[in-house]
Amino acid sequence: MPTLYYEVVDVFAATPFVGNPLAVVLDADDLPPDALQALAREFNLSETAFPMQPAGTGADYRLRIFTPTAELPFAGHPSVGTAWVLARLGRVRWPGAVTQSCGAGVLTLTVAPGDGTVPGRPGSVELTGGVPSAGRPLEATPLLAAVGLSAPDLAGPPPRVCGTGLDFGYLSVRPDAVVRAKPDLPRLRELASLGVAGGLSVSAWDGTTAHTRVFAGAVGVPEDPATGSSALGYGAWLAASGLVPGDGESRYVVRQGAELSRPSVLAGAVVTRAGVAVQCRVAGDVVPVATGEIVRPG
C-alpha cells in the first residue's frame, strides 16, 4: 500500500522522551483535510504537522497543524519541530532563517548550527510569533473554575487573553495552585466565548521563570507538555501586566510538562515599546526519537 514518510521528534527537550512529542508527516500535499485529520488521530499526539509546498506565499514551506480533533491555524511546538526536521533532511537551508506560511501568516524561524557532536544535526530553533495582542483584564472566576481552583489561589496581575497568532487565557496563581490545577473539560470549552481559542495557561511567575501548565481541552488536548504558542503569548501577557520593562528586550523561561512526566524548557523573549509588546520569540531544542512510514488514508 502507498505510504507516507514521517518522523517523530521531542520538542523543547534536550534528551529523548521528555518535552512535547510531534509527528511530522512529509509529502501529504494532495490529501484532503479529513485524511490529514485521520492521520493526526492515528498518531494521537497533541499535534501532528504536515509541511507542504508554499503555494506562492514566498515562504519556504506551508505548514498545516492538526490535533487529534481539529486543525489549528498556528502552534509553536509543531513550528519549531518541523523546521528542525526539514533542516536535518536538507529540505530548507540552514543555519539561519527559514520562513513558514500558516494560518497566522508568514513567520520566521531561525535554525542554529549544531554543536558538532552529530554531523548534520541542527541546533536549537527560535520562532518569531505573529503580531502580539493583549486583551483587557478578565473576571477570574470562570477561569479558576475551569481548572478546579478558587479565588484564594490567585496571585499577581489579573487574567487576560493574549497571543501572537493563537490566543490563550493567562491565569496567574500561587505556586502550589499550579500543581493542584485539574482540567474541567466542559468548563474549558465554555471559555471559547471569552476568546480563549488555544487554551488556558495557568502559571506562577517568580520574576524570571514561569512554572506553567496549559489546558487545551477545547481542541482535544486536556493538558499539553510544552506549548510554544502559549509561551509566545506569555511575553505579551508579561508586557500588558507591567512585569517587564516598558522598552527594550526582556528574556524569560517557561517550564512546563513536569506534571505529565515530560519536563520541557521554553526560552522566551519579548520586545516592548512604550509598555506594549511588539515582538515575541520562543526557542528550544529538538531531539529525534522515531522514523517510519504510515499508510496513506484512502
Residue/partner pairs of 59-64 with CB below 8 Å, 24 or more apart: 59/99, 59/100, 59/101, 59/106, 60/86, 60/92, 60/98, 60/99, 60/100, 61/86, 61/91, 61/92, 61/98, 61/100, 61/101, 62/100, 62/101, 62/102, 63/100, 63/101, 63/102, 64/36, 64/102
For residue 46, the 8-state DSSP code is: S
Residue 47 known to be catalytic: yes
Select which of 7, 42, 47, 190 is catalytic.
Answer: 47
DSSP letter for 130, please: S
| Opening angle at CA 269, ends 214 and 201, nearest 5 | 15
Alpha helices in 89-140 (DSSP H): none
What is the set of active-site residues?
Answer: 47
